[in-house]
Amino acid sequence: MSGPSGTEPTRSLVTIDLAAIRHNARALRDVLDGAELWAVVKADGYGHGAADVARAALDEGATALCVATVAEGLALRRSIAGRPRVLVMGPTASADVASAREAQLELAVSGDTLPEDIPLHVKLDTGMGRWGMAELLRPNRDVVGLMTHFASADTDEAFTRRQLERFLAATSDHRQLLRHAANSAAALTVPESRLDAARCGIALYGVDPFGRDSALHGLRPALSWSSSVAQAKLLEPGAGTGYGRRFVATRLTWIGLVSRERSEEV
């Protein structure tokens, strides 16, 4: 397909700026003021490339990596030297515990029966209403951390503070364990939530968790996307475009078709 002028369209290009990842890691470490930065690299680093993002964050002082599944953790173990701390934040099937143990991963857990001989982080449900214990059981020798998950740190600071109060009350007798609760939004705006470590995802990639300009928090977007208009065409009133005709023109309307062929540069 040629462009409007008959020239060959430029292919769609996604560029990942690892220098921006490093910059954001430094900015977050400054904000955390002594709390550890744990880099969330689940879902292939939010599409940025988990291994590359992990290396960049570790280079700038992140002390742990957070993933969603054991499979993601195993992939990092194969690609990251030095065996950094890796926490699997999602539920782990019993069939996967042996692999996680062998790879020296750490598991977030919620339940009466806890795996043995592997570092565990007990998750409390303080208001998210999803996976997590309603009450903290007496930690066993394998428990190294206590955690919770904020439901609305980007939209409801008052509720976030209530969640934090519940978490602190439930864990006050176990301060010898590592406690972590803050996500990106809480780390940036609720200082008391930073505790021993903060699990930062979206801010690490330079996206403002509040939907504003990321520069307000000293962050730089790490992903950019450029493409070209492969064809421009004029729709008559009543004409539709795309599957299902989800858009139907009500008046003369110019539309542009954007190239989708994708490549990546890191």
pLDDT in tens, 156-209: 999 999 999 999 999 999 999 999 999 999 999 999 999 999 999 999 999 999
| Contact present, 203 and 188 (Cβ < 8 Å) | yes
Is the model's pTM score more than 0.85?
yes
3-class state of residue 140 by DSSP:
coil
Instruction: Name the residue with tokens 């990596």.
Output: 65
Which H or E element spans position 254? Answer: strand 253-258
* Segments of the chain assigned to CATH 2.40.37.10: 1-17+222-266
| Contact present, 215 and 229 (Cβ < 8 Å) | no
One CATH from 2.40.37.10, 2.60.120.330, 3.40.630.10, 2.60.40.2580 for 1-17+222-266 = 2.40.37.10
- Is residue 205 among the annotated active site residues? no
Determine the pLDDT at residue 5: 45
* Segments of the chain assigned to CATH 3.20.20.10: 18-219
Catalytic member of 42, 46, 123, 205 = 42
pLDDT in tens, 23-47: 999 999 999 999 999 999 999 999 9
Q: Using alpha carbons only, what angle is made at residue 95 by residues 90 and 100, rounded to the nearest 5 degrees?
A: 60
Instruction: Output b/e per residue, 211-242; b: 16+ Cβ within 10 A.
Output: eeebeebbbbebbeeebbebeeeebeeeeeee
User: 95: buried, middle or exposed (CB in 10 Å: 19+, 13-18, 0-12)?
Assistant: exposed
- Is residue 233 among the annotated active site residues? no
Determine the pLDDT at residue 3: 41
Q: Comparing C-alpha atoms, which of 116, 69, 123 is closest to residue 96?
A: 69
CATH of domain 18-219: 3.20.20.10
List all residues 6 or more positions away from 75 whose beta carbon is below 8 Å from its beta carbon: 50, 51
Q: Are strands 178-180 and 253-258 parallel, antiparallel or unpaired?
A: unpaired
Question: Which residue positions in the chain have pLDDT lower than 50?
Answer: 1-6, 263, 265
List all residues 6 or more positions away from 205 whose beta carbon is below 8 Å from its beta carbon: 21, 24, 45, 46, 48, 53, 221, 222, 223
